[in-house]
Structure 1
């Protein structure tokens, strides 16, 4: 090694610039490792906040969190796909609140709890945020081995649920996307 190279190596190892270069390289290495560790198979990514959704529009408000709906737009528990009421409780075929095992929920005296309403997620959102709701178009992705239908809750709005400027998305007639929901089909992909 020549004298100049030895001097550069000593300076790089002991100077502030050399120290910052080593710290910068370490930070880039950690960032790269995190990026590589976060790669997943196509079609299975949780993306922004649920599988199949990769843009910035947030979920529609939902009684249990993630905006899973049935074919009629009514709320389902995301993990199990079971129907829930507007309070987020599981319900049976009659709309009565039940526990995870399907037993009627009762009060301290053993009286079954009253039924709660069950409202379409987009409709409930529109009431909460004061706009006329429309379900216009949709798009599809493969999630968990089945086709997922992603649905825009549209209205004549200027901003999305998360406060950003509203986009057209799959909305028609001058309406814009307010929030998004999803329906899991039984179609394999």
Structure 2
């Protein structure tokens, strides 16, 4: 029997104080059912269109999710071999990160909405600790390019939702 991977990106309709909210979460449905919806995993909320579907124009990003993403970039992603390798060739500069959804032909002159953010690089080619700056113009959901590739990053997902069922020994 094959194991089917659950979607990491889901929409939940929740009611708080009599008000319905439509939340887009970086959270699988099983984990949401067992642990609930942690505000750290809520990418943002939206008002559905008259047809009841996602309306990008009403999407509002959750500042808490952005804070968590910046924390992940500083604590974990900054140590990835690929980022370390890229930084080594950019002494005393900025290392700009493109959204993984960005097609290769657009990587030389990317749209602001495809730029995730940047790290400062010191004069020895090392990432400056805790220097990641998120680009507020980055779009998690783009009408042309689609969903941000960051939301397919299982390392980010596992960092955000560490397993609590592991036994030592």
**TM-score category by the smaller chain?**
under 0.3
> Hey, which of these two has a bigger chunk of helix by percent?
2
| The structure with more strand, counted as a fraction of residues | 2
How high is the TM-score relative to the length of structure 2? 0.23
